[in-house]
Amino acid sequence: MRHVEHVMGTVFSFDLRPPFGDGRHAIAEAVAWLHQVDAVFSTYRADSPIRRLGAGEIGLDDCPPQVADVLELCASVVTASGGYFTTRPSGHLDPSGLVKGWAIEQASRILTRCGAVNHCLNGGGDLQCAGRPAPDRPWRIAVAHPLRPGAVATVIAGDDLAVATSGTAERGPHITNPHTGRPALDLASITLIGTGLTMVDSYATAAFAMGAAARVWIEGLPGVEAFAVTPTGATWHTSGFPDTAPPVVEEAEGGSPLPGGKALP
């Protein structure tokens, strides 16, 4: 059972596998939740509580309770990431770096609660997968190669899996290092895996801003692993990945094959 929904400025893809439970109801409830989150947290809507809060028009007590929840989660990520995650990426209040992953993780819980225990919810390339797609295999998630549009950098498989990728968009860098105010350029993309997308997605944003140092940071986080591609096409991964690293970018343009796996410090 599948469903596609346009919300939060991107596309959400629902992929439910048997048993569906009350699948249609589950999807409807999850979709309503996503639209509700968008209405509260959209920084593109002048009348959204988050915009009005940021502008000082209303106080936190005037906002729906989810706003305080999200800002509290953001604060924990700011602390955990040494300030590489920020709720003010462009100067004004904007917790978008956490809201999408949080909304997806909550939507996944709605689906599970409605009996659709096996599902994969993909919000613009960030995923929360629950259960498994079939009794005899786990979910398999391809990671799009950041330098080779259409190519797959690696494939991740797992049950109850959250996957988030942060990277440079097609038109250049879009994540800024909050400590320097400059675009983050160390990495072409970094993919984090864990169980809950709230943390995995926001940590991925922080890790991209952090750059090369993210490797040590992620190593120190229990239950989270990372796979990164650098601008030259080299890759690295944290130790929770197998020693046999995915094949690297192969035949890089105008150069010799690049080292991969554990080549980087």
Contact set for another protein, span 101-130 (CB under 8 A)? 112, 120, 122, 124-127, 129-130
Please identify, using beta-carbon distances, which residue of 22 and 250 lies nearer to another protein: 250
What does the block give as tokens for 52? 């009005």
Is 176 among the residues that bind another protein (CB under 8 A)? no
Please identify, using beta-carbon distances, which residue of 2 and 179 lies nearer to another protein: 2
Q: Pick one of 139, 206, 210, 214: the residue that binds another protein (CB under 8 A).
A: 139
Please identify, using beta-carbon distances, which residue of 53 and 175 lies nearer to another protein: 175
The closest of 34, 68, 33, 35 to 50, measured between CA atoms, is 68
DSSP code for 62: G
Contact by Cβ (8 Å): 209, 92: no
Spatial distance between the Cα atoms of 246 and 30, rounded to a whole number of angstroms: 35
Number of alpha carbons in the 13 Å side-chain half-sphere of residue 225? 14
Cis peptide, bond prior to residue 19, ω within 30 of zero: yes
Contact by Cβ (8 Å): 8, 44: no
Please identify, using beta-carbon distances, which residue of 61 and 136 lies nearer to another protein: 136
Contact set for another protein, span 12-31 (CB under 8 A)? 13, 15
Other C-beta atoms closer than 10 Å to the C-beta of 16 total 25
Sequence letter at residue 32: A
Please identify, using beta-carbon distances, which residue of 60 and 152 lies nearer to another protein: 152
Taking the complex as a whole, how short is the minimal distance between the CB of residue 46 and another protein, in angstroms?
A: 21
Taking the complex as a whole, how short is the minimal distance between the CB of residue 57 and another protein, in angstroms?
A: 29
Could you give the C-alpha distances from 198 to 167, 204, 215, 254, in angstroms and in order? 17, 10, 20, 39
Contact letters (x/-) for another protein, 67-106, by CB under 8 A? ------x--x------------------------------
Q: Pick one of 24, 64, 106, 138: the residue that binds another protein (CB under 8 A).
A: 138
Contact set for another protein, span 39-68 (CB under 8 A)? none
The closest of 113, 85, 87, 121 to 196, measured between CA atoms, is 121
Contact set for another protein, span 188-207 (CB under 8 A)? 189, 191, 193-196, 198-199
Contact set for another protein, span 235-264 (CB under 8 A)? 240-242, 244-247, 249-251
